């Protein structure tokens, strides 16, 4: 059984203009020990999924249909108390801006201790030892644990956030754009630490980012979302041999996957309005290969290779599309 099973998940946001379905019938498994990268342009629903997993959707957001099972247990159907028990101990999050994760009025050590104290009763000595280990792992000077968050640089705060996420040795760690706003060198260091959590400690990880290069470099599986839908999912070959024209477009937007810091999208036009999504393929309006069928009928995910699925009506023409997409991209 996969560690995390997302099943036909639909997540709605109520707005004054109507109900926006930010995640639509999305199914995705994350196996124990896997490092999954979730990519897609801004607004496609990545953080919404992370928030649903952690049980921290905003008040106007809710799981409307489907389920998220963690070790077989339904997260949307868990009580607040049950979710609180899981948080930090079983599932931890490294959020986008570390400042959001820390309370400015307490020292870093006090906050890590508090996360520990809510779950286990360790002696002061045990906690001190744990923070020694954690700070050594993330590369922070031990003495700095007595500092307040504002005394840390952005990169140091993010290291401290990783330490806090690791404090109780959780099995699953979600990192939602953990390096946004940091300079490229610090980004690399932070991503390296995050990857080590996976390689050294065998943790199951979900990394959310816009940055295809980061995912290609770090993750062992890749999921691509578009306008609330999962459009492609597989191993590294997703970027090497994409089957969905959206993934092809993303790959073109990163002609050199080593060239960091480039803004992703150069695909013309914008994603559909989620208040009134099209009936057919959501990408049809921007797809250079769209046919009448694409506007009339939504494509289902089909297997295109071992462990590789994509949702396009013209899977059998993917090789031809890939060649043409490359020409369009240049
Ligand atoms: P980004 O890469 O910019 O972080 P994302 O993929 O994480 O984007 P989400 O934040 O999950 O996207 O948002 C998905 C959709 O839901 C977007 O269309 C967004 O406008 C909408 N949305 C998000 N939060 C709310 C909210 N609290 N109320 C209404 N709509 C929301
Ligand atoms: Mg987001």
Q: Are the CB atoms for 50 and 180 separated by under 8 Å?
A: no
pLDDT digits (tens, 9 = 90+) for 247-270: 999 988 775 654 555 444 468 899
Record the tokens describing residue 209, joined without a space. 């980012």
Compute how many other C-beta atoms are within 10 angstroms of the C-beta atom of residue 260: 14
Please, where are the H alpha helices in the chain? 46-54, 80-86, 98-101, 108-117, 124-138, 154-166, 184-201, 212-218, 237-240, 245-253, 292-296, 318-329
Beta-bridge partner residues of 221: 36
- Ligand 1, atom 23: nearest CA belongs to which residue? 48
| Distance between Cα 137 and ligand 2 center (Å) | 27
Residue with tokens 């390689």: 199
Predicted local distance difference test score (pLDDT) of residue 265: 47
What is the C-alpha to C-alpha distance for residues 183 and 196, in angstroms, rounded to an integer?
Answer: 20
Picking from 193, 178, 161, 180, the residue whose alpha carbon sits closest to that of residue 37 is 178
CATH code: domain 4-90+170-329 is 3.40.50.300
Beta-bridge partner residues of 15: 18
What is the C-alpha to C-alpha distance for residues 95 and 186, in angstroms, rounded to an integer?
Answer: 16
Does the model's ipTM exceed the 0.85 cut? yes
Distances (CA, A) of 277 to 22, 29, 295: 10, 25, 11
Beta-bridge partner residues of 69: 5, 74
Record the tokens describing residue 318, joined without a space. 């993917």
Predicted local distance difference test score (pLDDT) of residue 99: 62
Pick the atom of ligand 1 nearest to 45's CA.
11
Predicted local distance difference test score (pLDDT) of residue 58: 96
Picking from 328, 325, 330, the residue whose alpha carbon sits closest to that of residue 245 is 325
Q: Which residues of the chain have pLDDT under 50?
A: 258, 262-265
Task: Indicate the DSSP class of residue 78.
Answer: S
Predicted local distance difference test score (pLDDT) of residue 256: 60
Record the tokens describing residue 249, joined without a space. 């477009």
What is the C-alpha to C-alpha distance for residues 202 and 285, in angstroms, rounded to an integer?
Answer: 41
- Ligand 1, atom 10: nearest CA belongs to which residue? 47
- Ligand 1, atom 1: nearest CA belongs to which residue? 42
Distances (CA, A) of 60 to 18, 48, 118, 219: 11, 12, 28, 32
Pick the atom of ligand 1 nearest to 225's CA.
6
Pocket flag, ligand 1, residue 45 (CB < 6 Å): yes
What proportions of the chain, in percent to the nearest 5, are helix, strand and coil? 40, 25, 40
Pocket flag, ligand 1, residue 49 (CB < 6 Å): no
| Distance between Cα 42 and ligand 2 center (Å) | 7
Picking from 49, 53, 38, the residue whose alpha carbon sits closest to that of residue 210 is 38
| Distance between Cα 320 and ligand 1 center (Å) | 34
- Give backbone dihedrals phi and psi of 135, rounded to 5 degrees, phi first: -65, -35
Q: What angle do CA 110, 111, 115 make, to 5 degrees?
A: 115
Pick the atom of ligand 1 nearest to 48's CA.
11
Task: Indicate the DSSP class of residue 285.
Answer: G
Task: Indicate the DSSP class of residue 171.
Answer: S
Task: Indicate the DSSP class of residue 9.
Answer: E
In the structure, ligand 2 is a single-atom ion and the residues with CB under 5 Å from it are 47
| Distance between Cα 50 and ligand 2 center (Å) | 9
User: Ligand 1, residues 46, 210, 264: which to mutate, most atoms within 8 A of Cβ?
Assistant: 46
| Distance between Cα 13 and ligand 1 center (Å) | 9
Predicted local distance difference test score (pLDDT) of residue 258: 45
User: Ligand 1, residues 22, 40, 62, 206: which to mutate, most atoms within 8 A of Cβ?
Assistant: 22
- Ligand 1, atom 30: nearest CA belongs to which residue? 13
Three-state SS for 228? coil
């Amino acid at each position: 059984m996969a560690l995390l099973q997302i099943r036909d998940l639909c997540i709605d946001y109520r707005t004054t203009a109507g109900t926006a379905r930010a995640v639509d019938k999305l199914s995705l498994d994350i196996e124990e020990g896997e490092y999954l990268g979730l990519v897609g342009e801004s607004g496609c629903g990545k953080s919404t999924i992370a928030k649903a997993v952690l049980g921290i959707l905003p008040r106007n957001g809710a799981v409307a249909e489907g389920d998220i099972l963690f070790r077989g247990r339904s997260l949307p159907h868990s009580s607040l108390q049950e979710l609180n028990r899981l948080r930090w101990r079983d599932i931890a999050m490294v959020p986008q801006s570390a400042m959001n994760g820390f309370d400015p009025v307490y020292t870093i050590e006090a906050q890590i201790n508090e996360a520990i104290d809510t779950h286990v009763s360790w002696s002061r000595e045990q906690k001190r030892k744990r923070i020694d280990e954690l700070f050594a792992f993330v590369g922070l000077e031990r003495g700095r644990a007595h500092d307040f968050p504002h005394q840390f640089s952005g990169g140091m705060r993010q290291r401290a956030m990783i330490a806090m996420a690791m404090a109780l040795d959780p099995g699953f760690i979600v990192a939602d754009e953990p390096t946004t706003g940091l300079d490229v060198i610090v980004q690399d260091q932070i991503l390296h630490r995050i990857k080590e959590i996976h390689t050294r400690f065998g943790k199951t990880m979900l990394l959310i980012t816009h940055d295809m290069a980061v995912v290609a470099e770090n993750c062992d599986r890749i999921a691509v979302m578009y306008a609330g839908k999962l459009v492609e999912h597989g191993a590294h070959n997703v970027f090497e041999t994409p089957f969905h024209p959206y993934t092809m477009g993303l790959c073109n937007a990163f002609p050199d996957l080593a060239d960091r810091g480039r803004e992703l999208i150069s695909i013309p036009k914008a994603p559909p309005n989620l208040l009134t999504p099209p009936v057919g393929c959501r990408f049809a309006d921007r797809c250079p290969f769209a046919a009448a069928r694409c506007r009339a009928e939504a494509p289902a995910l089909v297997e295109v290779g071992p462990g590789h699925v994509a949702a396009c009506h013209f899977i059998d023409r993917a090789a031809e599309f890939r060649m043409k997409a490359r020409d369009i991209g240049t």
